[in-house]
Amino acid sequence: MEKHHNELLESIMDVIKAKYSNDVSILFIYGSVVNGTANENSDLDMIFVPKTERGWNLASTFILNGTGNDLWCVNWERLESFANFDDMRVSILANSHLVYYASEEDRERYEKLKRQIAEIQNGPLTPKLIEKANQHLITAKRYYAELCLSNNLSAAGEILFEISDTLCLLNHTFLHFGGKQMLKELSTLNRLPEGFIETFQKVVAVKDDEQTQKACFDLINCVDAFFKTIKNEIILPVSMSHFTGLYEELSSHWNKIRYSCEKGDVLSVFLAASNLQAELNYVQEQTGIHNPDLNFIDYYNPDNLSSFALAANKAEETFVKILKDGNVPIVSFNNVGDVKNMLMNLVDSSSSSG
């Protein structure tokens, strides 16, 4: 630690002991000063957890001898978000050094969170981590939309961060040095998409908007395919029985499509088909049962709605067959009386089971 870093840290600790001894639980340092990459112009990264409302008053930002510093105040919940990989700035906590604690209980709480990080790193890839990775991938796709719509180059940078977090989560780890050594750290991950490093590098190497968009598209596409491969290895497919009752719910969509096709109502056809296709896509994704006939929206043609209606009918027939093959019952009646009897029996069975 540089002399001026040490002097600043000692001064802050003196203030805590003199003025905030009952208001601060812990103080720790992190970043370049701790990981050995600091230079004379580096700031001292500091975080403290307040014990009282008054403790929040200690939070400060200031410039000292030309270098900006942030005495960052966070609550325990924020640290927990680092420890469980909800906030992927995990290294802030994982690679930190505790310099002050008010009690042994506070110290142990801090150490427990650091152990939690190690347990995730050393443990297996879990469905929870996969879902967290998926959320970062979804965010990357949103930034891609922003990039294409506004040519906002910073969106490409955000894509790199989100993709990085996606891959780190799939490897149940995190970046130790943030953006400083991002590519170097990513290259050491146990599992990466084929050709990832080269694709990643293209994002910052290209020189115009169109090439940037293409590079980001290729990057997201390769990671998306990789994500699906990993997910299928870890998460078992859902049984079709999980979707009992779905066809009964969706049948009105098929009716709406047929009716709208007959009337030539292009907008209603398109919207109903979009909603229905999203449901069928979800079923295929969850069950692993993929059938091209279910992807009926590929045949959408506003100038030939009669042909599109046939494609929708084929999708319905295919979905019904898949349900029957999976022994999933379809509840269908021809008169209101039968519906009433069914509902009456439901009430009776509920009463008897209670």
The predicted-structure confidence for 142-194, as pLDDT tens digits, reads as follows 999 999 999 899 999 999 999 999 999 999 999 998 787 999 999 999 999 99
pTM (two decimals):
0.86
Residue with token string 């990080």: 117
At 344 the pLDDT is: 86
The CATH architecture to which 3-122 belongs is 2-Layer Sandwich (3.30)
The tens digit of pLDDT for each residue in 59-91 reads: 999 998 898 999 999 999 999 999 999 999 999
The tens digit of pLDDT for each residue in 115-130 reads: 999 999 999 999 999 9
Of the pLDDT bands very low, low, confident and very high (cuts 50, 70, 90), residue 351 is very low
At 41 the pLDDT is: 81
Give 120-179 as a DSSP string: HHHS---HHHHHHHHHHHHHHHHHHHHHHHH--HHHHHHHHHHHHHHHHHHTT---SSTT
Share of the chain above pLDDT 90, in %: 84
At 86 the pLDDT is: 98
Instruction: Tell whether the model's pLDDT for residue 13 goes beyond 80.
Output: yes
Instruction: Tell whether the model's pLDDT for residue 348 goes beyond 60.
Output: no
Domain 127-234 fold is Four Helix Bundle (Hemerythrin (Met), subunit A) (1.20.120)
> CB under 8 Å to 80, separation ≥6 — which residues?
86, 113
At 353 the pLDDT is: 47
At 347 the pLDDT is: 62
Q: For residues 237 and 219, what is the distance between their CA atoms, to the nearest angstrom?
A: 27
Q: Is 299 exposed, middle or buried (0-12, 13-18, 19+ CB in 10 A)?
A: middle
28 strand-pairing partners: 47, 98
Of the pLDDT bands very low, low, confident and very high (cuts 50, 70, 90), residue 281 is very high
Between the CA of residue 81 and those of 93, 125, 200, what are the distances in Å? 10, 18, 27
Instruction: State the chain's mean pLDDT as an integer.
Output: 94
Domain spans of the chain?
3-122, 127-234, 241-345
At 75 the pLDDT is: 98
